[in-house]
Chains A and B, each alone.
Chain A
């Protein structure tokens, strides 16, 4: 049997030694001896005595996986976790086991109330209280552990990579916050189980109203359950406030880094020119700037400005104009005076002897196709000479149309 006074006195006198043991998983005899010597004050009991006290007061027990090695007993470790604010996160399985235990106790309590078994009800109620308090403590420990871990991630003294830190935060969210939420989300079955137990506590109080002590015990259990709900809810919200901003920051960081690494990987694989990204930097030289005309036209459009008539194009008149064709009006006037003409081509050659062959031919076609005249050709061909050309055609008679 451990004397509690001796237990706490030893803890008070050897707290630094206990702290050192707390950070170690296990110690062998030599290591334990060194630790005791390191923390032993002048005038303290012998090393062997302190080592013996560690075992006899229930601080240490043999480690199961190594001979001649000792480790802190779990309740002591948990107590030191609490004292040193080094609480560990409660695994999901533990939380689930609490819920399952509560559900089973609820069924047992229901039976005990129905059968009016006061002693049995009191025993079950006591077990329920223990589970409720464990859940509340674990919830608070979770919050402490989450705060400690998020602080460590933020300070990053261990120089962990962004990815590692992101994985840790993600794990905290998925492994610890989600189960915690299940405890308080009214839509989850867990809540229905807790609601059921709350109702049982009320039923019990009513059933055992004549049994005052038991009725009060039911009332106290109801208050504990209410406190558990409030506490878990507050812990959950506080945990989220710690974890969510860090999670978002690290998630974003992780993606930024992955993006940069992906780009470098693509350059490695396919070369720099293979990167086709929507990233532009405008660089415009002076000569590439917008023209004054465009700028001015936009300004005018905006202000309702009416432009003045365009400037006349300046022309330079040549001294003499040479027109390389026979004026049709002049042609018609001359032709009209002598109609009918028996040989039109001959007449053209004589009348417009100064003109080029092209002009004579144009005039000939003009007369031929004009509706003002009736043209007819003789059967025999005739040869005409004009400068260096020889023209062979049937003479054309022209009359007024």
Chain B
């Protein structure tokens, strides 16, 4: 190969980064060895992957993944069903969903997926079990095990949160174009028009 392009694309950890991304893994700051080269050389990685036909996405929550043209593949569908059930269950328990998903550990034993008949029906339709689902989520970088009985979610879990918002809006929800991904803008159709324009001052 020519030395010029060899030098330009001699990107750190290129092989393992590409290998992980192509397998659907989401790379976040916890993956230090893989994340920091991506963070520092994002433009070069993005350029390279883009010319090779891959769409490298940098999520506002600071994680990277490859976006595919094919939406809602069976693997994505199965992971999503598991998450929809979990979110509904957490809400019914009066727990703050976003907080529960982004902080703390979840006991596998406490999961309702195979305890509630309605949830079991969804699991059956998706052809998944709790163990298989968590394994998939871990493999794709959405979650991480602690021992055999607990797991926790990593930053890429925000993709499922985005997905829920997308469903509700009935259109494509694009977190990349959302000004404040952590909190949506105040409802502009509210009766409180102009309510959020700032504090009232003495002027």
- The chain A residues found within 8 Å of chain B, CB to CB, are 156, 159-163, 173-174, 177-178, 181, 184-185, 230, 233, 236-237, 240, 244-245, 247-249, 251-253, 255-264, 267-268, 271-272, 275-284, 289-290, 294-296, 298-300, 302-305
Q: How far is the CA of A173 from the CA of B2 in the complex (A)?
A: 65
Q: Is B79 an interface residue (CB 8 A)?
A: yes
Question: Are the C-beta atoms of B166 and A277 separated by less than 8 Å?
Answer: yes
Asked, given contacts A277-B166, A282-B24, whether A296 binds B76 with beta carbons under 8 Å apart, the answer is: no
Q: How far is the CA of A271 from the CA of B126 in the complex (A)?
A: 10
Asked, given contacts A230-B202, A275-B72, whether A300 binds B80 with beta carbons under 8 Å apart, the answer is: no
Report the minimal beta-carbon distance from A115 to chain B, rounded to whole angstroms: 35
Question: Are the C-beta atoms of A184 and B94 separated by less than 8 Å?
Answer: no
Q: How far is the CA of A298 from the CA of B50 in the complex (A)?
A: 11
Q: How far is the CA of A245 from the CA of B186 in the complex (A)?
A: 10
* B163-203 interface (Cβ within 8 A of A): 163-168, 172, 183-184, 186-187, 190-192, 195-196, 199-202
Question: Are the C-beta atoms of B22 and A257 separated by less than 8 Å?
Answer: no
Report the minimal beta-carbon distance from B159 to chain A, rounded to whole angstroms: 7
- Checking B22, B69, B201 against A280 with a beta-carbon cut-off of 8 angstroms, the contacting residue is B69
15 CB contacts below 8 A, A to B, read: A156-B94, A177-B192, A178-B192, A248-B186, A252-B98, A256-B98, A261-B84, A263-B167, A275-B77, A279-B72, A281-B68, A281-B76, A282-B65, A299-B6, A302-B5
Question: Are the C-beta atoms of A276 and B77 separated by less than 8 Å?
Answer: no
Q: Is B122 an interface residue (CB 8 A)?
A: yes
Q: Given known contacts A156-B96, A284-B22, what 9 new A-B pairs fall within 8 Å (CB)?
A: A161-B94, A259-B168, A280-B76, A282-B22, A283-B23, A284-B23, A299-B6, A300-B2, A302-B8
Contacts of B195 in A (CB 8 A): 173, 177-178, 181
Question: Are the C-beta atoms of A277 and B71 separated by less than 8 Å?
Answer: yes
Give how many B residues have a beta carbon under 8 Å from the other chain's beta carbons: 69
Question: Are the C-beta atoms of B199 and A237 separated by less than 8 Å?
Answer: yes
- The chain B residues found within 8 Å of chain A, CB to CB, are 1-2, 4-6, 8-9, 21-24, 51-54, 65-73, 75-77, 79-81, 83-85, 87-88, 91-94, 96-98, 118, 122, 125-126, 140, 159, 161, 163-168, 172, 183-184, 186-187, 190-192, 195-196, 199-202
Q: How far is the CA of A224 from the CA of B79 in the complex (A)?
A: 62
Report the minimal beta-carbon distance from B202 to chain A, rounded to whole angstroms: 7
Contacts of A303 in B (CB 8 A): 2, 4-5, 8
Question: Are the C-beta atoms of A282 and B66 separated by less than 8 Å?
Answer: yes
- Checking B4, B69, B70, B87 against A256 with a beta-carbon cut-off of 8 angstroms, the contacting residue is B87
Asked, given contacts A271-B125, A303-B5, whether A173 binds B192 with beta carbons under 8 Å apart, the answer is: yes
Contacts of B125 in A (CB 8 A): 267, 271-272
Contacts of A290 in B (CB 8 A): 52-53
- Checking A181, A247, A277 against B72 with a beta-carbon cut-off of 8 angstroms, the contacting residue is A277
Residue in B closest to A241 when the chains form the complex, CB atoms: B199
Question: Are the C-beta atoms of A260 and B4 separated by less than 8 Å?
Answer: no
| Interface-central residue, B1, B68, B69, B168, by most chain A CB under 10 Å | B168
